[in-house]
A and B are shown apart, each in its own frame.
Chain A
Amino acid sequence: MIVALTGAILMLFVIGHLLGNLQIFLGPRWVNDYAQHLRDLGLLLWLVRTTLLIAVFLHIYFTVGLALENRRARPQRYQKRDYIKASYASRHMVVSGLVVLAFIVFHLLHFTARKFNPRFPLLKNDPLNHYDVYSMMVYGFQNVYVSGFYIIGLFLLTLHLTHGASSFFQSLGLNDKKLAPQLAFGARIFAWLLFIGYSAIPVAVLLGFIQPAQKL
């Protein structure tokens, strides 16, 4: 239940984060103003960040505990195993989750702590002393390997959510026979929409549709 609830908090964040980021397609002003608004939230921003951090911690703490119990529940493995209904995603939640965790750590270092790219510190602030997030994103994604890792991370997040988003309802008991296939389908659509939305940004940058606002 804790896994479902913390998962839901994280899903809400992922939706909000996508909507914020998609403003890159509207131009530098939108993204930079949005980023500045977030920073201006001050204490509230840190409250949200702390909530997310706690949610991530609890989500991992409990799922790893469950996964260890589950391993112990079958000490003698099957020699031959055939799955009928259990999807690949549902059977690899721990692996996909851990890759997503690694991705989140990289992502925070990359764009929040602004590491790994020598150009990030060279970007000039605007007259109001606001950081040029737009150009940072573009320069960040111009590296094929970085973008590649983002897309892999997003793909695993998608896999994780194709199972996780509908699992949420089942775990909380908000499911019945008629609803189950619809929720499973809805969760897949939801996860793939997120994938398309998020990966559109690095892909657009790599294809040159989005150029940095500052030339370096």
Chain B
Amino acid sequence: MNFPLRIWRQSDRQSKGKLVEYRATNISADTSFLEMLDIVNDELTERGEAPIAFDSDCREGICGTCALTINGQAHGPKHPAAACQLYMRSFRDGETITIEPFRAKPFPLVRDLVIDRSALDRIVQAGGFIAARAGSAPEANSMPVPKHNADRAMEAAACIGCGACAAACPNASAMLFTAAKVSHLAFLPQGAPERTLRALKMVRQMDAEGFGNCTNTYECEAVCPAEISASFIAKLNREYARAILQRSAGE
């Protein structure tokens, strides 16, 4: 298969970037999207040109490192999947493919398609953890958790922190990410003592990073590779409202 490519090239944060045209030739249908970029990069290197910088790590949809907007969709046209789980058979032969970085003000560009997502780490650092020493895994039945809560917590914990939600959001809002992290701990007894402060601090940090606001368009859940439901955003809204009420009641 052959593909005309339009790829965002930008040498650093200050310089002005633009879409540059390339060609991917003789690509097997079973090549993964990132392997296709590797092939293009090999050719660029052979020609003595600078290869296209892009992030990847596990290449099996677990780590959340790859962050590409492909043809206007975060992680590309196949959902739910991270860009690394996308194969060239998902495209028509000869289809023009546009590749851009995840775009949001809190994701400053490093080079080409590589962005800095430490804003998400700082949201987690603001309260997305349990402060007490948890020690090693306890005996399973020492702290009973209702099945429903365990399931919901697991669903939320599936978030791989890739940032696709913010990249796809028309408002560049990171509500789905923050909602997953807040909900995950809110459903578990271990998370209960810090529940109120966690919701307040994480939302405050999310706003401070410069993310936009959620207007309930649900574009985030459509691109999420971990299938985090936007109903967790309703959960975050509940958690936040509860936290505000508790704080104003002096608790």
**Which residues from chain A sit less than 8 Å from chain B, CB to CB?**
1, 66, 69-70, 72-87, 90-91, 93, 163, 166-167, 169-177, 179-180
Contact = CB atoms under 8 A, between A and B. Distances in A.
B56 interface: no
Pairs of residues from A and B, 9 with the lowest C-beta to C-beta distance, nearest first: A82-B72, A173-B238, A73-B212, A86-B217, A70-B171, A173-B237, A85-B222, A70-B212, A175-B234
Secondary structure type dominating chain A contacts: loop
Interface in B205-251: 210-219, 221-223, 229-231, 233-239, 241
A177 B231 contact: yes
A80 B215 contact: no
Contact of B72 (A81, A173, A175, A176): A81
A115 B166 CA distance: 48
Contacts of B215: 66, 70, 90, 93, 167
Interface residues of B, number: 45
A80 B100 contact: yes
Contacts of A171: 214, 216, 237
Contacts of B9: none
B210 A72 contact: yes
Interface string B154-188: 00000000000000101111000000000000000
Nearest to B236: A173
Nearest to A85: B222
30 contacts: A66-B213, A70-B170, A70-B171, A70-B212, A70-B213, A72-B210, A73-B106, A73-B172, A74-B105, A74-B172, A76-B17, A76-B103, A76-B109, A78-B100, A78-B103, A79-B19, A80-B98, A80-B100, A85-B217, A87-B217, A90-B215, A93-B215, A167-B215, A170-B216, A170-B230, A173-B234, A173-B238, A175-B231, A176-B234, A180-B234
A69 B79 contact: no
Nearest to A90: B217
Nearest to A63: B215
A70 B106 CA distance: 12
Nearest to B69: A78
B153 interface: no
Interface in B85-130: 98, 100, 103-106, 109
Contacts of B221: 85
Nearest to A169: B234
Nearest to B223: A84
B78 to A, nearest CB: 11
Nearest to B235: A173
A75 B17 CA distance: 13
Nearest to B10: A76
B234 A174 contact: yes
Contacts of B19: 79
B28 interface: no
B240 to A, nearest CB: 8
B71 interface: yes
A182 B44 CA distance: 51
Contact of B212 (A69, A77, A173): A69
B69 A74 contact: no
Contacts of B239: 173
B73 interface: yes
A77 B8 CA distance: 12
* Interface hub of A76, A171, A174 (most chain B Cβ within 10 A): A76
Contacts of A77: 103
Nearest to B231: A177
A73 B233 contact: no
Nearest to A171: B237
B219 A85 contact: yes
| Residue with the highest number of chain B CB atoms closer than 10 Å, among A73, A80, A163, A175 | A73
A79 B8 contact: yes
Contacts of B241: 1, 172-173
Contacts of B8: 79
Contacts of B210: 72-73
B171 A84 contact: no
